Amino acid sequence: MLKSIGATERWLFVVIALICLYLSIATDTFLTLVNLFDILNYSSVNIIFAAGLLVVLIAGGIDISFAVAASVVQYLVAITLAEWGGGNWAIGISLAILFGAALGSINAALIYHFRIISIVVTIATFNLFFGLLMFFTGGVSIYDLPSWLSRRVILFEYETAIGWAEITLPVLAMVFVVFATWLLLRRLSIGRQLFAMGDNPEGARRLGIRIGAMHYLAYGWLGACAGIAGLMQAHYAREIVPNALYGRELEVLAAVVLGGARLGGGRGTLLGAVLGLVLISITQNGLNLLGVSPYAFRMIVGAVILVAISLSSETIAGLKERLRDRRAGAEAAR
Amino acid sequence: MKQVVSALLGRPGSQKRAGGSGVGEALSLIGVLLVLVLLLEGLTGRFVSQATFTSIAFQLPELGLLTLAMLIPIISGGLNLAITFSANIAGLVFAWVLQWGGGPAAGPEIFVLGVLAALLTGALIGGSMGLVIAYTGAHPILVSLAMMIFLRGLGEFLTRGGDVSGFPPYVVQLGQGSVLGIPIPLLIFILCVAIWAVVLRRTRLGFSTYMLGSNIEATRYSGVDTRRMVTLIYTLSGVMCAVAGIVMLTRFNSVRIGHGESYLLITVLACFLGRVDPFGGFGRVLPVVIALVILQVIGSGLNLLGTNQHLATALWGGILILVMVLRYVWGELALGSFLRAGRTPAPATKGPNQ
């Protein structure tokens, strides 16, 4: 069992365990069911984003427009539903997936057909989506959501001494999206083709993999995930705010890469991505419980990521190799 | 006209084939600029005025200095997403030194000390980023992203999201004053452009930067200490951010974390419009500067036309996409006319990835 888990994931497990241990000793609220379920509910949206982003990273691209795209989807869905007079979960989720995949396809089209580097395309679409969203909405939030969307759906509840511990709908959506992404990446041949393209695009092309279709698949998948995440965030917050998800993309990207996905493609695991996000969520939660100023959150999260990159297993492996080389060189000289 | 279009749209790698020299390239971009100015004058009727040129001359340096900070990492095949917040943090250090030295009563020696402290801060930020990139092999996008998150958090933590002000009166005179009719920030910018041009064209570091961008492994095998060079490149980028931070402080007479955040996209846009290769290895300073002027003219034009700020953000994104798409289409057309011997154009070897 342990052997099937990569070095990065094992390392993340250890760090998360240490942080949890420290927090359970330092605070008496961390290790309660209410708090743990809160973390789970809160991070569900980010994990949905992370699953989608992982697919794009594996395919050798990068995307920073997805969080803003999720905000656009929120508005499009809300407006469309208002037009149709209500709707329900099935229609809402279908619309979210549809709009999200369409926005993702815009990125895919620009990257594939016009050979533009993916970071540049998504920086541009990030600004395009956000600018247009703010322009057309005038920065106005939507508070009167359809009742099915704003009513809390509790899947599991349990009464404890300090309140109700609840698991809500976003968690189910998260489980579903993670499972679907696992199926795509690990059990379907098109998923393996994504890995191949990320590792060596020219080789994949010569093998007969349809690079264009793979681009639409990867960015469309991320778009669809972003759509679902957007809907879940609107459900969780019970309102739609145009800049609520602004800035989320960096956090998620950093977490996914922390989990061992390689910028440049061809490598990454779902477990790693989820663990990366869990690490960041628990850090934030812990800082909150410890009474650290919210202004310091980002700083500490940024520092954690920087240190993690510097100390990643790859770096340590590289250092070991260099040490060995040097020792071998010294012996040869002797 | 054909040369004008090709200067704007031609692929950076195809410079030699299109027969455009550095000077011809610059002249063509200036042609684009003139066309644009005439267009805006026609649209607004009051574009060509003293007020417009003064505002451009004062706004250009901030954006320009940040673009210079972005330019060297891009040529070396990387990216520095932390530029705006590096500038903010350097400005913050400058502000603290001024306040420590007596606030409004601080003398010139405190000012000089502050400038040095700010430059040192920029160098430290850039240098640490460079060290991580060089020695861990982590992707520059990732490292600079993490640094950006860290610096933003640090700045917000230290300032609690507020303004820092209370400087001696001569500070704002420096930022908003002129020498012989030329705004002082513009003079600083011109000086920095000259330094960058010399560094890139005449020094070993500049040569190595281009080589790193073309092929880092080949550069290493040809005896260049690539790790040292990468560290130096990001250190220089950080120093240039600090200069931008100092100029911002003197112009606004205050420091605020997040100021100039929206410049990030425009600096990338300016580099690519100035025919810097997104994959690294190609790019010159002068075309980038002219591209900057073009973008600033567009910005002022949008402002005069009374465009909403968010619509302007969307337009910047749209313009970036348009430039890249047209450049691709133009490149394919040019390639097609070269290879008319019945063969289909060769697929791009680098592909759409990374």
pLDDT digit string (tens) for A146-186? 888 888 877 777 777 777 788 888 899 999 999 999 999 98
How many beta carbons lie within 10 A of that of residue A95, not counting itself? 20
Q: Do A123 and B265 count as a contact with CB atoms less than 8 A apart?
A: yes
Burial B159-174 (b: 16+ CB within 10 A, else e): beeeebbebbeebbeb
- Considering only CA atoms, which of A61, A71, A77 is closest in space to residue A129? A71
Q: Tell me, what's the pLDDT at A52?
A: 95
Q: Is the pLDDT of residue B80 over 80?
A: yes
**pLDDT score recorded for residue B273:** 81
pLDDT tens-digit series, residues B159-184: 887 788 878 888 887 777 778 878 88
pLDDT tens for B313-343 read 888 888 888 888 887 888 788 776 666 554 4
- Percent of chain B at pLDDT > 70 equals 88
pLDDT > 90 fraction of chain A, expressed in percent and rounded: 36
Q: Which residue of A has its CA nearest to B265?
A: A123
Quickly state the pLDDT bin for B354 (edges 50, 70, 90). Answer: very low
Cβ of A123 and B320 within 8 Å? Answer: yes
What pLDDT sits at residue A319? 66
Q: What confidence score (pLDDT) does residue A28 get?
A: 85
| Secondary element (H or E) of residue A201 | helix A201-206
Residue B3 has pLDDT above 60, yes or no: no
Poorest-confidence range of A45-49, A63-67, A306-310?
A306-310
pLDDT of residue A133: 93
Q: Mark yes or no for CB contact A296/B149 under 8 Å.
A: no
Q: What beta strand segments (E) does B239-289 contain?
A: 254-256
Burial of B308 per CB tally in 10 Å (0-12, 13-18, 19+): middle
Residue of higher predicted confidence among B348 and A40: A40
Tell me the nearest-neighbour CA distance from A305 into chain B, angstroms: 6
pLDDT value for B192: 93
Closest-CA distance of chain B to residue A284, Å: 13
Q: What is the pTM of this model?
A: 0.83
Q: Is the CB of A123 less than 8 angstroms away from the CB of B154? A: no
Which pLDDT score is estimated for A253?
86
- The sign of the dihedral angle between the CA atoms of B69, B85, B87, B320 is positive
Q: Which residue has the higher pLDDT, A120 or B64?
A: B64
Angle ∠(B245,B250,B254) on CA atoms, nearest 5: 80
Cα separation, A90 vs A175, in Å, equals 17
- Rounded CA-CA distance A87/B144 in Å is 44
Residues 199-238 of B with CB under 8 A from A: none
Question: To the nearest whole percent, how much of chain A has pLDDT over 70?
Answer: 94
Cα nearest neighbour of B155 on chain A: A299
Q: Which residue has the tokens 């994990």?
A: A47
- Write the DSSP assignment of A134-150 as a string of letters: HHHHTT--B----HHHH
- Interface mutation vs chain A, best among B86, B89, B145, most A CBs within 10 Å: B145
For residue B20, pLDDT beyond 60? no
Given this model, what pLDDT does residue A305 score?
Answer: 77
- What is the arithmetic mean of pLDDT over B339-351? 48
pLDDT in tens, A198-252: 988 889 999 999 999 999 999 999 999 999 999 999 998 888 988 888 878 888 8
Residue by residue, DSSP assigns B321-344 as HHHHHHHHHHHHHHHHHHT-SSPP
The answer to whether the CB atoms of B137 and A130 lie below 8 A apart is no
ipTM over 0.85: no
| Parallel, antiparallel or unpaired: strands A163-168 and B163-165 | unpaired
314-333 of B, contacting A, C-beta below 8 A: 314-318, 320-321, 324-325, 328-329
Q: Tell me the C-alpha distance between B267 and A249, whole Å.
A: 20
Q: How many CB pairs under 8 A join A and B?
A: 184
Distance from CA of B81 to the nearest CA of A (A): 11
What would the mean pLDDT of B26-44 be, rounded to a whole number?
Answer: 79
Mean pLDDT over each residue of chain A, to the nearest integer: 86
Residue A302 has its nearest CB partner, among B136, B137, B150, at B150
Residue reference for tokens 């400038």: B115
Confidence label for B195 from pLDDT (cuts 50, 70 and 90):
very high
Residue of A nearest to B143 (CA): A306
Percent of chain B with pLDDT strictly greater than 90: 19
Q: Is the pLDDT of residue A2 over 60?
A: no
**pLDDT per position as a tens digit, A282-318:** 988 888 888 887 777 778 878 877 887 777 656 666 6
Residue B259, pLDDT above cutoff 90: no
